[in-house]
Amino acid sequence: MAKAGQTIDLGASGVRIVITKSAKDTNGSLAQMESTMQAGKKLPTLPHIHPTIEERLEVISGKLTTIVAGKRETIEMGGSVVIPAGAAHNFWNESNEEVKVRVEHRPAMNIQDFLETLSGLVRDGKIKYDGSFSDKLQIAVVVTSFRPMMLLPSPQRFVIGAIATVGRLFGKKGRFPEYFSS
């Protein structure tokens, strides 16, 4: 489980995350982090749903573009948005400057394990965020392994599920406890 002060680097995606409150520190009630996205970079996920997690984004610096339940919005420094559990959403940096965002998940569930998994795969060269077939297979397997914490909306859910099946046939796995902080 991630620890406060830990940095999670998502490599070529241009996203770095610093854990400010870990799930362990809050008995699972909250996972809080500060995410820094380089200019023009997108969170390395598709629009997704947290069925039982409320997510709050607060822009510390820069401008963040969000889409929540089909509504697109640009949030500037000092602004925030609450994403209710079950709402399809995504966020990214379309601007020409770095953006820093405080992200909170209530309850924490295993969001930090998910992020540590992606970071470990980047560190080991198993994900490069280069759009390759191998990346797509690996990411699909990871995403589907973290249900029910995260789901994709239909029809993407079914497409990613099929890609994940192929990924598993190629030997990809979705759970890497060795990447989790102890």
Residues 105-154: tens digit of each pLDDT: 999 999 999 999 999 999 999 999 888 899 999 999 999 999 999 999 98
Give pLDDT, residue 57. Answer: 98
Q: Which of 106, 125, 144 is the last residue of a domain?
A: 106
Range of the domain at 86: 7-106
Residues 123 and 171 in one domain: yes
For the segment 76-94, the average pLDDT, to the nearest whole number, is 96
Residue 38 domain-assigned? yes
Residues 142 and 89 in one domain: no
Residue 16 domain-assigned? yes
For the segment 45-71, the average pLDDT, to the nearest whole number, is 94
Please give the Cα distance from 41 to 179 (Å, whole number).
24
Give pLDDT, residue 76. Answer: 97
pLDDT band at 12 (very low <50, low <70, confident <90, very high): confident
Mean pLDDT for the chain? 93
CB neighbour list of residue 100: distance below 8 Å, 6 or more residues apart: 34, 35, 36, 37, 59, 60, 61, 62
Residues 30 and 72 in one domain: yes
Q: Taking the model in full, what pTM does it have?
A: 0.92
Residues 12 and 71 in one domain: yes
CB neighbour list of residue 14: distance below 8 Å, 6 or more residues apart: 37, 38, 40, 41, 93
Answer whether residue 176 shows pLDDT above 90: yes
Residues 173 and 156 in one domain: yes
Number of domains in the chain: 2
